[in-house]
Structure 1
């Protein structure tokens, strides 16, 4: 048996009305999607796999995808046989939009339907690819997106589809969503919610009012609401923020936002020249233009009026995610450019979760020995020295509201992520130097032969020479030299001038009967000077204006810094600002930890 292969061009399907003139509201049946290829503004050709589309028990019917109460025209029950999406719905006369639709239908005006889908999984198809989906075998002729997972958010009645070949418009971009189960079959929208349920729900949700409202609206079980609240408290990185798909609406909008901020080079570097060119073709000049651009790309049209444009733009996820992507790029750029003296001596490691991790330093009899005549290789004595560390999340939130957009204050999108990026860099440094100054477990001590004290420990040629000797003389557990090389002289700001004189002076002044050579013994020695203000800052316990440190490079790892899943730098992702706020919000967080690792690779001098 062979299967015929054909290329489909989807036509907009009619809106079929089944109503009795004597009864109100009006019952309708909407053929929302017939399973083939659609051409969606901002995406191009798209196919939605109905098997991966989550259908709510009830879906809101809107007019022209406008996310306003006044644009609501009714509700419907979505159904699919795996091939076609159909809505059995009710259009109400409670709103002017509903009255308009009913009047048009009664006058036999042909109307079409369009679905609003929030996607959470998709993949690109290349020209010539053949897939079997929605009961059809389809060969695509151009680059096409296959939506493999998503949530039906709304269905709209429209005069025309996105263009002559389609009746469906995607009203959202890409965001990682937590799946919500449908309400119990025996519940109804008008059902009274008992007081005990509300009190229990408040207990599990805490101050998470977004989850509380969602649980009330959908009558979620307490365990489900609790799990959702916990998930929202713990940051999750949306896929779109880590690996943007080329020329998606979110990436094009992100490039447009960066261009508006005068960061074209950053947009080209992070998102690509083609994406930046696509963004430039829309010619956005203001924050409101960016909202209109989001409407055109996601909805296929831009409403009239400032408030309507802003409301429609933020009813999609393309714009919030795009602004989140732009904020991420700005924050990471600021993070990477911020001073980080710890990078000169600390080793960076990756942690796969938030549990305590153990690092192992192997020591023992590793001296290579001559192979005996019989060919037996002797085993080394292996001991273990453990290092424990864990990562913790540090976070803040920011908001971009309607007032910022109307005032064209999009510069806040540059300022706040830049501040967050630098704040994240400072937090890492704070952790590292908090550990260093706390001297955990006697890290710097006479027992470890890495602590210089007394009147002669102030920074000088003689004391630095003593520290270099102490570091070079460190041995492993078997008493064998470790061949450590000093790489970093770490000082507080109060010792910067002295440190530069000690390291860089061509000649040294000698007095009295000292007839030794006057040349600088450290000339040509590859020791970098790092000046760290935290060493003497009174906020940090253990601070000192006189103490200084000599350390090996990052490969030897006297200290270590851990990042969750190896992601260095902060992450910014969109969050729901709540039903009472018009705009969008983002949360910024970084998952980091720091620990003292190997005392052999560091020397401290307490200073005079």
Structure 2
């Protein structure tokens, strides 16, 4: 127990006090709290409170990376291999006393490793003494936002897993490849015709042997901001929204209105671009691995007895995420530009 202002505060109570302090509900200077708690207790409680603020901010930014990703824990930094196997095709008819024959599904694998992603933020001795409450609170929120933006960029950014024509897959072709994968179209507008072409292309994808249609059902429709309204109309309006589309007059029932497509707006997609994706909880789409299963940013503080504080007179905080990921299957994705 730690003495503070004629009372005692347990470690949990200290954390609660610091959360209220960061929110401006307690009027005390930073150095006063440090003296009251003791340096070690204050450091631990401050980091916990900063993590709470970062976590709250982490939920404020749309996590569009999650829409197409399956999350798994990873407990090392070695290369992880993920096997992607086809089904067994159709069951075979057997006559009386006829033995069953064995079969081996065609499979392939993708790989990735987890890496740390971090940034360091410093508070000088002068700012600490002058009370850096607002600075630290604001920074904790920025850490939370940066965490989501980093994950979104990893998946959807220009150089991300789904950016441009995407990563190179196990067959040595780009993820989005019209010739080899049949999941990419240029000059394809998002309208009834374009959406039907994309939907049919996914449904017609075959297994790796090229013999059995997979019948993949799209779940996610990711779009650039400029076509978001059109995407919502396409997927949610009960009736067609244009005068004539494929010779269907205005007022005809919208076939996409009951398909259950979830529209996700992705700010980093170029104008007019859209991506159809299957449900990552049913089909292999993207796997995102997080070190020790922590899928949120973590705030750490350098110890008060560090050389950096001694020589440079500052306290260092670090926000980090440790993760990696890969696209598992091109048959569960389609891009139109």
Alignment partner, residue 316 of structure 2: 585
**What are the ranges of 5 or more consecutive residues in structure 2 without an aligned counterpart?**
4-8, 169-173
For residues 251-270 of structure 1, give each alpha carbon's deviation from its aligned partner in whole angstroms, at most 9, with x where no partner exists. Answer: 43322110112399xxxxxx
* Aligned residue in 1 for 2:6: none
Query: Which of 518, 524, 529 in structure 1 is aligned with 2:263?
Result: 529
| 1:464 has 2:207 as partner | no
Q: Does 1:291 align with 2:34?
A: yes
Q: Which residue of 1 aligns with 2:297?
A: 570
Contact 1:489/1:529 (<8 A) preserved: yes
1:417–1:483 CA distance, 2 compared to 1 (3 A): same
Deviant stretches of 4+, over 6 Å: none
Q: Note the C-alpha offset of 1:286.
A: 3.7
Structure 1 residue aligned with 2:253: 519
Q: Which of residues 262, 281, 288 in structure 1 aligns to 2:23? A: 262
Map Cα deviations across residues 306-358 of structure 1 (whole Å, 9 max, x no partner): xxxxxxxxxx3222222111112221222233211121112223322222211
Q: Deviations over 1:197-238 (max 9, x none)?
A: xxxxxxxxxxxxxxxxxxxxxxxxxxxxxxxxxxxxxxxxxx
- CA distance in structure 2 between the partners assigned to 1:328 and 1:515 by the alignment: 55
TM-score normalised to structure 2 length: 0.83
Name the SS for the 1:497 alignment partner: helix
Q: TM-score, normalised by structure 1?
A: 0.48
Please give the alpha-carbon distance, in whole angstroms, between the structure 2 residues aligned to 1:601 and 1:393.
Answer: 28
Q: Is the 8 A contact 1:486 1:550 kept in 2?
A: yes
Mapped to 1, the partners of 2:98 and 2:58 lie a distance apart of 55
Question: Matched residues in 2 for 1:582 and 1:390: separation?
Answer: 37
Is there any run of 5+ residues in structure 1 with no aligned partner, and where? 1-40, 44-246, 265-282, 296-315, 537-544
Corresponding residue of 1:252: 13
Q: Does structure 1 residue 560 correspond to structure 2 residue 287?
A: yes
2:171 counterpart residue number: none
Go from structure 1 to structure 2 and tell me whether the alpha carbon gap of 1:263 and 1:600 turns closer, same or farther (over 3 Å shift). Answer: farther
1:403 positional shift: 3.0
- 1: CA distance between counterparts of 2:319 and 2:29? 25
User: Does the CA contact (< 8 Å) of 2:235 and 2:258 recur in 1?
Assistant: no
Tell me by how many angstroms 1:406 deviates. 3.5
Higher relative contact order (Cα pairs below 8 Å, separated by 6+ residues): 2
* 3-state DSSP of counterpart to 2:253: coil
Q: Give the Cα separation in 1 of the matches to 2:246 and 2:13.
A: 75
SS at match of 1:448: coil
Q: Where do 1:301-380 residues align within 5 Å?
A: 316-363=39-86, 365-369=88-92, 373-374=96-97, 377-380=100-103
**Which secondary structure state, in structure 2, belongs to the residue aligned with residue 323 of structure 1?**
helix
CA deviations 1:78-105 (Å, max 9, x no partner) are: xxxxxxxxxxxxxxxxxxxxxxxxxxxx
- Superposition pairs of residues 153-192 of structure 1, within 5 angstroms: none
Question: Conserved in 1, the CA contact under 8 Å of 2:236 and 2:258?
Answer: no
Inter-partner Cα distance in structure 2 for 1:500 and 1:461: 12
| 1:196-235 map, 5 Å | none
Counterpart Cα distance in 1 of 2:223 and 2:137: 33
Matches within 5 A, 1:358-507: 358-363=81-86, 365-369=88-92, 373-374=96-97, 377-433=100-156, 434-438=160-164, 439-441=166-168, 442-445=174-177, 446-454=179-187, 457-478=188-209, 479-507=211-239
How far apart in 1 are the matches of 2:280 and 2:24?
A: 33
How far apart are the structure 2 equivalents of 1:320 and 1:262? 18
Query: Per the alignment, do residues 287 and 366 of structure 1 end up closer, same or farther by CA in structure 2, a change over 3 Å counting?
Result: same
8 Å contact kept, 1:574–1:587? yes
Q: Based on CA coordinates, which of the two structures has the bigger radius of gyration?
A: 1
Q: Secondary structure at the match of 1:580?
A: helix
Query: Mean Cα displacement is larger for which, 427-436 or 330-339?
Result: 330-339
Give the drift of 1:370.
5.1
Counterpart Cα distance in 2 of 1:436 and 1:408: 44
RMSD over aligned CA atoms reads 2.7
